[in-house]
Structure 1
Amino acid sequence: MAIDVNKRRLFGSNKVNIVNDMLPWVADASQFIEQCTQCGDCLSACPENIIVKGDGGFPCLDFDIGECNFCGKCAEICKEPIFKDTAESPWHKKAVINDTCLAYQKIYCRSCAESCEAQALTFQVGISEIPRIDIDLCTGCGACVAPCPSKSISVKE
């Protein structure tokens, strides 16, 4: 009899997803997992409504809904000591484009670049126009994620 190990996630939290989708200004992933009470205050405080309940009931960001404007309201409302000062940089996450991008298949699409206010996404003109991410300009806000028709963009550490 074969065992589907993916189904085992139903009985516990998937800490990898929790860490990848954590809120801005979370000081330490372990501390977040240990001290977050899953109260939901941050969900209601988010003006963009992109904070959702994720694995194990932990709050996480869903960039398929929209972008983070880094307002800091999630950190301000939290009663637990899991966030660092919002005057600091929110995180070191950046947008990452995978191989399913339509541009790699020579299909014209610039939805990511058109949605990037920081202009971190550009297209190199030439034989094949593929997107380039300027890591210095990318804030990791996730504005490019939802508009991507092939779901080829994620925001990662």
Structure 2
Amino acid sequence: MSTSRRGFLRGRFRFDPDVQRPPWAIPEGAFEDQCTRCGDCLKACPPAILVAAPGGYPVVDFSRGECSFCGDCVAACKAQALRRADDAAAPWQLKAAIGDTCLAHRGVECRVCGEVCGEAAIRFRPSRGGVAQPLFDAARCTGCGGCQAPCPTGAIAMKNEVEMSV
């Protein structure tokens, strides 16, 4: 979305692609048009990972915890900016990405991300004469973000699957 004069005057600035909208958010341009910034989804979120970004729109802050995909934010959204097409609809296209600051990549024993991953999307492969290395299974990753906050070096980021394939 580009910043238009009307958007600027309404407090709608250029969307940061690294910011993650709540689960089941409609596409970005429509989301900003439809979201009333009422905060009902923020109040409804049991793990309290939804916060108001500058401009008042809701975003996910994985440093506060993981998404349980309970759907309470969707139920609270009267404006329909968050909605499930059907019960099988994926909440988003996020997957974990392990960066270069990972302690295991630097030869230091750490398995925190693997221990907190309930889906076993991050496992560790023993390495002869070295530290076990993380193995990431994107097919198992739900994008909950539970592995991001406990990482001591901030090596894990939640990335849109579309961005990762480019």
Compute the TM-score of the two structures, normalised by the length of structure 1: 0.86
Whether the 8 Å contact between 1:66 and 1:146 is mirrored in structure 2 is yes
Q: Specify the SS of the correspondent of 1:64.
A: helix
2: CA distance, partners of 1:12 / 1:39:
15
- Give the C-alpha shift of residue 84 in structure 1: 3.1
| Matched positions, count | 146
Which residue of 133, 139, 144 corresponds with 2:142?
139
2: CA distance, partners of 1:55 / 1:120:
33
Partner of 2:163: none
- Give the C-alpha shift of residue 12 in structure 1: 6.7
Aligned 1:78-157 pairs, distance under 5 A: 78-85=77-84, 87=87, 88-127=89-128, 128-157=131-160
> For residue 118 of structure 2, what is the amino acid of its counterpart?
E
Structure 2 gaps, min length 5: 1-10, 161-166
- Give the C-alpha shift of residue 14 in structure 1: 4.9
Alignment root-mean-square deviation, CA: 1.7
Q: Specify the SS of the correspondent of 2:140.
A: coil
Compute the TM-score of the two structures, normalised by the length of structure 2: 0.81
1: CA distance, partners of 2:111 / 2:98:
13
1:39-98: CA deviation from partner (whole Å, max 9, x where unpaired)? 110010000011011132111111101000000010111011222316111111101111
1:154–1:41 Cα change, 3 Å: same
2: CA distance, partners of 1:48 / 1:30:
27
Whether the 8 Å contact between 1:43 and 1:49 is mirrored in structure 2 is yes
Whether the 8 Å contact between 1:14 and 1:55 is mirrored in structure 2 is no
Structure 1 gaps, min length 5: 1-10
Counting aligned pairs with the same residue, the percent is 42
Whether the 8 Å contact between 2:19 and 2:60 is mirrored in structure 1 is no
